[in-house]
Amino acid sequence: MASETTSAPSKAPPNSLKDELAAALPAGFTSKIRYIRSPSKACEPLFSALPGQESEKTRLASHFLAVSVNPASLSHLNVGTSGDAGTDVISFAIEALVYSTRRLTTIFVSKVDSTPFTPRIKPSPTKTTVTTFLRWLAEQERRKHPKRKVVISLFARAQAQYLFPGSSDDKTKHVLDDRQLIKWWARVLDPIIPSNGPNDGAEVQHQAYLTVPGYANTELRSFMPPGSTPTAAQPRWLPGNPLLELARARGIPEHAPPRCLLPRFPDDPKARFMQDLDEEIGINQDSQATVSPTKKRSGRWNSVRDLDRFWEAMEFRQECSSGRVVGFLWLVISPKGSDDEAAPEVTTSSQVDSQDSLTSFSTPPPSSDPMCVDDPSKPTAGSPKKRRRKPLTGPIVPRQPRLKGGSSSVSNLADMQAELEAKAGDGLLVSKEGYDKAMQTLLHLDFANLQGAVRSTAKWVAEIRGVTGLSGDLAVEVVGTAKVEAPPAAPATNGTSAVNDLGGMIRKKKRKPADEGPAVAETREELAGNEQPAVNVLGGGMIRKKPKPAAS
């Protein structure tokens, strides 16, 4: 499953998601995939801005992949020839959020969940599909921006269910505990790292990181995949986090306030902790805390001054101290030369000398000279260059009307259906509102039993059809072609049953030396017969009995 190429994106057309999954899934495994995605829209910044500067413009696109199987293929269920045998039921699904800025692309794994209706085969279809989908998604982003860093980020927190309500009521669902979940995610991300040589001479470098609050760096080895931390100079997995490396890629100095180095993902334990720290210094508008304006504008927390102290404080948060373990994992994909182009935007000697000063991250004020007049054609000292927009000329071309509730630019259902078939499983683009509606519908269904799960799958498919205006199902069939190596079989015995050989466990009696005569042999037997037993037995003469008292 590991990638075999470490060079820059080639000019050859990329494989579709259907082809990638078919090549990775085990041979004979048949499933249907339903892949929807929303267009990239402007969203709230993922990182807080430096004091005195504007936030990074960030765009967000959502991706959701659901894999369904035929209930008749599930060996652990007694489906038989019931009415559910000819339909499909959702087996597992994954949701990923892609945040894009000018210098960094972040793929955040929002949710991954399975139902009790997952095939019990090896290799696991769930693990294989999640690995293949994340690798394919990262490759798509790299093709769009070859010189931009791509980071896959997630946090592992064990719960009984995420996406499928009622699925935990079925005892056949395989639910992992906290430690098992962290190890599972490490095994999911590890095959994305190429295994055909070190990163030193590669065009694209991969590096994985793992942080578990409350665990020392030496204790994190137990969570990492076996064989992933060789004694080489650059191991595949490192304890810690890449936040300082990502800050350099974004053009942010390393001594910036910690709140500017940490991302804020939805439903993220560390994002809730950051919000509490912001309220202490009055950055949150709803906070009633009274702090000095200088501390509020400096952007530095009172109790947490750096990243190391932040992770130490995370140990005592409710998510990490309630008897459960939470893991934070990153996989950084760095094209060659991406770090050289991302120099900090504002780096002066005064920043190093005084990190807490208000002018450390602020831009110089504009000139107060009355003779200085703003010229739109020339950039000013305190603002970026503004381009004057040219007036539009030429004939007015009317746009084609869009379908109600859909986001495709085609004008009829036939063209939309053809576009979906041409992409061969690369996903159906729906509006942000339609995507959110489909996800909300999924979260209100019932997957407690097979019959209910089949009906819920049909309802969710019907909701997508109503949102997109499709006349048919958007499912794409995928048949696995990967050969699974069978375990080595026992040697043939020409039709006879195997016999247990206990030859190595039999203790043979020592032979008598050939050069010893009969007299010597008899002497040895007498000595052996007169040997003392292993337990010391006291003779009768060595026992002192207590005399009996005389009768009066």
By annotation, the residues acting in catalysis are 268
Of 500, 426, 303, the residue nearest 14 (C-alpha): 426
Q: What span, in angstroms and rounded, lies between the C-alpha atoms of 60 and 23?
A: 29
3-class SS letters over 383-415: CCCCCCCCCCCCCCCCCCCCCCCCCCCCCCHHH
3-class SS letters over 486-531: CCCCCCCCCCCCCCCCCHHHCCCCCCCCCCCCHHHHHHHHHHHHCC
3-state SS assignment for residue 128 = helix
Crossing angle (nearest 10°) for helices 269-280 and 307-314:
110
8 Å CB contact between 467 and 405 = yes
- Residue 121: alpha-carbon gap to chain centroid: 22
Q: Which helix (DSSP H) or strand (DSSP E) does residue 98 occupy? A: strand 89-100
Number of other CB atoms surrounding residue 289 within 10 Å:
12
C-alpha torsion 136→142→143→145, nearest 10: 150
78: left (phi over 0), alpha (psi -120 to 50) or beta: beta
Which burial class, exposed, middle or buried, applies to 271 when counting CB atoms under 10 A from its CB (0-12, 13-18, 19+)?
middle
Position 160: which residue type?
A
DSSP 52-94: TSPPPPEEEEEEEEEEEE-GGG-TTS--TTSGGGGS-EEEEEE
Which burial class, exposed, middle or buried, applies to 327 when counting CB atoms under 10 A from its CB (0-12, 13-18, 19+)?
buried
3-state SS assignment for residue 454 = helix
Give the strand pairing for 204-211 and 237-239. parallel
DSSP 100: E
Of 379, 385, 345, the residue nearest 53 (C-alpha): 345
Measuring CA to CA, how many Å separate 117 from each of 43, 71, 92, 204, 454? Answer: 36, 7, 8, 38, 10
Q: Which residues pair with 333 in a beta bridge?
A: 150, 206
Supply the Cα-derived Rg of the chain in whole angstroms: 34
3-state SS assignment for residue 184 = helix
8 Å CB contact between 7 and 204 = yes
